[in-house]
Amino acid sequence: MAKLLGGIATSHIPAIGVAMDQGLEETPYWKEFFEAYPPVRDWLYTQEPDIAIIFYNDHGLEFFHDRKPTFAIGAAEQYENADEGWGIAEIPPVTGETELSWHIVNHLIEHDFDITVCQEMKVDHGLTVPLTLMWPGHKYGHVKVIPVAINCERHPMPKPSRSYAFGKAIGDAVRSFAGDQKVVVMGTGGLSHQLDGQRAGFINKPFDLYCMEKIVDEPELLTRYSNYELVEEAGAQGVELNMWLAMRGALEGEGKLKELHRSYHLPISNTGAGLQLLATNSAR
């Protein structure tokens, strides 16, 4: 059976990708932020996952309002990145995977998540920034990525409780997959931020810290929020917490988790940036 090694939650702010491209990691603005990452990279290096399931949201590269799925999953051998319009450098293609993807799709449909399946899709900074953060220097080609997109842009969007249950169904699917693959799940985005409106710039550090504390052992305290409540507490784009909850949901059923890393830094761009690593008993 495939094994879930753990989950990583990280910000996916575009400015991070730009900073890495320009080699700004050691500059005063960025130093503290990037210093948080080596322990998580080391863990990945030690664990040698074969597959990374990455929960992210598309920001208008692959999906437009003409056909915007609520939940979508990739089932392709490769995923391309492309010009997003405002200057983040494109990264080399991301390696995909189809067998576990289709297994997950079957399991999801069987368990009442009628998901959109993409046999070709472009992945944007929501996925590429976390990938680059975990494997700098574009050294991610050996990891097979399964992109899972959650609508966090246009209301109505999936409820936190539903995002969690969706993640749980994906975790169950991984555990029922015949094979000896080692899998990590990643929740990307957040934490609190608001880009639009007169309330732009809103960040709620106490709420972010609360979320990072509760997601470890009491995620049910977070899944009871509505998306409107999340907008109020965490800003218009704070609903990206849904990706963290999907990641955490995937680890439900793994028993007690070991929190190996938690850090938080603000501001990065307009955002409170969190990084967290939760390991299962299957991890070395």
Residues that bind other proteins (CB under 8 A): 15, 59-61, 64-66, 82-87, 153-156, 194-206, 226-228, 231-232, 236-237, 266-267, 269-270
Q: Which of 12, 59, 103, 193 is catalytic?
A: 193
- CB nearer other proteins, residue 10 or residue 270: 270
Does the annotation count 155 as an active-site position? Answer: no
DSSP type of residue 92: P
- CB nearer other proteins, residue 15 or residue 104: 15
- CB nearer other proteins, residue 139 or residue 199: 199
Does the annotation count 125 as an active-site position? Answer: yes
- CB nearer other proteins, residue 60 or residue 141: 60
Residue 131 pairs with which residues in a beta bridge?
none
CA separation for the pair 246, 158 (Å, rounded):
11
Q: 3-state DSSP call for residue 263?
A: strand
Q: 3-state DSSP call for residue 52?
A: strand
Task: Give the residue from 172, 268, 269, 191 showing the smallest Cα distance to 235.
Answer: 191
Q: Which of 125, 138, 142, 265 is catalytic?
A: 125
Tell the smallest beta-carbon distance from residue 275 to other proteins (Å).
Answer: 16
- CB nearer other proteins, residue 44 or residue 152: 152
Tell the smallest beta-carbon distance from residue 237 to other proteins (Å).
Answer: 8
Task: Give the residue from 81, 66, 39, 43 showing the smallest Cα distance to 184.
Answer: 43
Please measure the distance between the N-terminal and C-terminal CA atoms of the chain and give it in whole angstroms. Answer: 16
Q: Which two tokens stand for residue 257?
A: 């988790």
Q: Indicate left, alpha or beta for 221 from its phi (over 0: left) and psi (-120 to 50: alpha).
A: alpha
Per-residue CA distances from 168 to 104, 108, 253, 260 (Å): 11, 10, 8, 21
Catalytic positions: 125, 193
